Chains A and B, each alone.
Chain A
Amino acid sequence: MTLCILLLTLYQLYYTSSKKFLEMEKLSLAEKRPIFSLLTTIITFAAYYWYVTELYIEKTLTVQTEIEFWSAVILILIPVFVVSKIILMIILTIINTIITGEETRFDKLDEFGKLIDIKATRNFYHVFIVGFLAFLSSLAFSFNVFISFNIILFTILVSAIIADLSEFYYMRSGV
């Protein structure tokens, strides 16, 4: 129940702020997309991590079950991110169509957009590899399971943030 209220409040806040943001003339649609993607990533991760932490505190876990728990958390995070991005695109398209009265395609990528996408994905992998090595090192040095799996969770978050920021940077400064 509390989670539902939190999510509703977050999305209400998200809706009003995105409406105001879309009305700004200074940024083009292509520049607004990574900013919204970044916001969605942070909001989704924050809500998901809060939910998972609540679950983790409630449960009494052995080392084996703790590994299973955190593995499941990471596996579920991926579809959660995918679904939230799809919802983001739908919301943005609706809001922007209402504001401008024109057909909007946030997912449309031309050659410039594709090149930027490739470079942003490259940056994502660079950061992810560093985080993954840190994760493996933490396992090798027998760190706490909680710490090890949190390293990989936050690696995913930071990598996603880097990808969105790179996209915004390349969109403004060129490639």
Chain B
Amino acid sequence: MSGNVIRFPARLAGAEPDPPQPSSARSPRTTAPGPSGAFPVAPPGRRFLSLHLPRFAVERRIARLARRGSLLQATTPLALLAEGTHGPVVHATNPAAEAEGVHAGMRAVDARALCPALRMEEADPRGDAEALGDLALWCRRWCPWTAVDGTGIMMDATGSAHLRGGEAALLEEVEARLARLGLNARLALAPTRGAAWALARFGGARERCAPKDLPARMAPLPVRALRIGDGTALLLRRLGLGTVGDLAAVPRLSLARRFARAEPAENPLLRLDQMMGRLAEPLHCPDDPPCFLARAVLSEPVEDPTPLLPALSDQLCTMLGARGFGARRIALTIFRSDGTVARAEAATARATRDPAHLARLFDGRLDNLDPGFGFDLLTLGATVAEPLPERQPALDGRRDEGEDLAKLVDRLSARFGPRALLRPAFHESHVPERREVPVPALGPAPPVPPPAAGRPLRLFDPPEEVRVVYAVPEGPPAQFVWRRVTHRVTRFAGPERIAPEWWRDRPGTRLRDYYRVEDHEGRRYWLYREGLPDDGRGGNPRWFMQGSFG
């Protein structure tokens, strides 16, 4: 989870929001989390499900590309790059790239030399780690205890399999659901974490291992299946201990003498004991993120959700208030009696838990929801929430006016779409008309520009062409005709020469010489001459009125 923003675990591409489970199956746990070390060693019947996602990073990127509308052919070699000490190195690859000989750890230049058609993208290890965390939470649909386990996910599936029709069915379902997310997963069920980890990586497809088969099944696995580092694995192999069985045959005393002081990741004896269930290895599961979801269950289907909204909104805001959160994004979901689901979303400019405000965000937007033969379940959830501490109003009782504006922005954006409501933002550019760019009003407030010296407050857009009398070639304006009125220049300052932004302007764009002028009536204007007579970009320079002072 990043920062304090809480999202529903649906950050993965294609992870369509789930209909809420029957309340018994998916209510937030209130009891103490996870198994502790207190249970007896090798509890009978513990079942761990290990999920190995060999191409998580690449598959996540492919899904993201697909969402942006660029579908990647399976035959297109793709590599994700991370910064190495000597330039970028390959971080992850897809099978097509691997077939071309590109593998992780390779320098990017070598990879490109090898496979000129290789498509390269920046890797996002932090995003991957976050997404993996989200995925682990998402996996709680099958069992309540799940956690990230290195590069994969570990689930304590004890007692959960029968809900899905047995272990085989559970594994198939998990694999199928992950496949729908575009993730290739290898999974295994075993009585210990170590065994499940090993089978997911070194065993067959969806392998299950019963407690009684454990020693026999583990014996032929290579020592790397013990979750030990490469160095230790190499050492063991050099000692002739190539498999778990070889290692298990060595007297404990000898192993202890050699490895007792090693780190867990380099201690094959410890890992062996964990694998065989001789040593407890609790799974530490993070708490469920707070879930803000208000629901209205109706005994009879109704057709208009509007009257139910205030109560739901109240309910949601109470939930938010109890945890000190405010909603940034809310979703209203309607479950029709014929089984289909309709959904409406709204966002807010700042975190809020004002029930009336939240309810109003759906004004007029529910008309488009086709209620069909009516609906019997309605939920309102905060899909993105931020901490919002209680704030004391000012002593004079005045309200924060920014809040009102934020609410207006919310309502207008909710009604007309986020692109419809824009606000000007400052952009650093020497070209006057490019200093202001519109940005969506719903986003964070843009920085306040520094005061510009010598620039008028009012700009004409587009600038108006004027006829000017001036000393050729570069003289200041002496007299100009603007909107059919002749102005005699009495004073001027300048020129301020502003060259075109060569990287974005069309070739042939001419530079501008700006003058601040004062006419005989004391009015001040901002004129510019476009181009110089001998700049080779057109004929005689033209003059434009860009703005006026005061």
Real complex partners, A and B?
Answer: no
